[in-house]
Amino acid sequence: MASTATTARPTVAFAHLGCEKNRVDTEHMLGLLAQAGYGVSADEADAQVVVVNTCSFIQDARAESVRTLVDLAEQGKQIVIAGCLAQHFQEELLESLPEARAIVGTGDYQHIVEVLEQVEAGERVNRVSQVPTFVADENLPRYRTTSEAVAYLKVAEGCDYRCAFCIIPKLRGDQRSRPIESIVAEAQQLAAQGVKELILISQITTNYGLDLYGKPQLAQLLRALGEVEIPWIRVHYAYPTGLTPEVLAAYREVPNVLPYLDLPLQHSHPEVLRAMNRPWQEGVNGELLQRIREQLPDAVLRTTFIVGYPGETEEQFEHLLQFVQEQRFDHVGVFCFSPEDGTPAAELANAVPAEVAEARRGRLMEAQQAISAERNGAWVGRIVDVLVEQENPSSGELIGRCLRFAPDVDGEVRIRPGSHGAAASAGTMVPVRITAADIYDLEGEVVGAQEMVDAVRHS
């Protein structure tokens, strides 16, 4: 790593695009540059050089990334292109954007200081490993961009699955897990910074440790993290086939692990799943989900589905619609299929017309809205911990989340003005009695000690 310079270094701004895994990479680049003496600004107007950490997961994400790059180029900024778009298109980006001074791949962001030094020296830099192999650990500097109370922790990088529609393995490489000791060490660092909610992320978190230990070790990881003083630990991207009795026991028995299961199912019909190259998922049916609910009675289930996959028939879509109506998930995201260059699905025949896919998405979301309202309504009357995240200065209303809601993808809890006193502020966790619910959100009021005691006595 370069030593801190004695002369003033330029201010660098960051534009972050894409998922929370990308966000962690951005935070490491920020930490490295700050450590090396660069000024770091959230305002692109303050900086001559802008690092754009791009997304290339679907066409809409690529379009947003390209728009951001072109806008910055037209402002006369020097651009460093990092992340998935850089990994995906590499030299093409340097050729297409003369203002781009460097490209940095998904496995090369740890070299950002060296790249910036080369750019300052007038070079154009291609720092993209053809096969990403790097995964950051607790020793790599990090400057968090989330609130003080919430942090994402990447437990592994890359993916060993080869779903036909997904370009992630090409962009991120195969799965490579961090040792449990490394993850716990970073969690302890984050706890010391005041983090109240730690969100574990990777491409397939239930496969955590398979490459490192010869078998998945999520249960062991969760039990180790149970010793860290962070009130909430939330797991994202838990494939249901990996929710073994051992893993579900860890969810039940480790007090700070939330019973929140994010299950990226994508579809329910066996033929569509085979076309998606997800044959391992055919056993994910109502019976398996029922077993999960029996072993984890308080489970909050979120999932995502793709409609309009090539060859999806009306009958297959109806299978999915019925599956959603029967399973009554708490939260559902629905996406129309997007053909991605470089994936097998992009070459499939029998494309579903865009208007048909969009209509199916609308029907599925409409069915889910009634279910979401019902599932939220079941929480009315309960007293739950709420992590406060912001206050509306005009109304005095507090906004936060209970265990039911993950940041950015689910709903929120609105706390009635005047009910919360001076103790409740952003970054604190307060007990709230839920008084109302709608399709997406909950409302409530802070309760005192006596009401909490009475609720326990009468439960």
pLDDT tens digits, residue range 417-454?
Answer: 765 455 577 889 999 999 999 999 999 999 875 454 45
pLDDT at residue 457, as a whole number: 47
Evaluate whether 57 touches 167 at the Cβ level (below 8 Å).
Answer: yes
Average pLDDT over the chain reads: 89
Query: Backbone phi, then psi, for 18, in 5-degree steps?
Result: 95, -155
Question: pLDDT (tens digit, 9 = 90+) per residue, 259-269?
Answer: 999 999 999 99
CA dist., res. 25 & res. 38, Å (int): 17
DSSP state of 298: T
The residues that bridge with 306 in the sheet, in sequence order, are 335
Q: Return the structure tokens found at 389.
A: 């995240």
Task: Grade residue 5 by pLDDT with cuts at 50, 70 and 90.
Answer: very low
pLDDT at residue 4, as a whole number: 43
- Segment 174-203 mean pLDDT: 96
CA dist., res. 263 & res. 238, Å (int): 5
Question: pLDDT (tens digit, 9 = 90+) per residue, 322-350?
Answer: 999 999 999 999 999 998 888 999 989 99
The residues that bridge with 13 in the sheet, in sequence order, are 41, 50
pLDDT at residue 371, as a whole number: 96
- Segment 185-203 mean pLDDT: 96
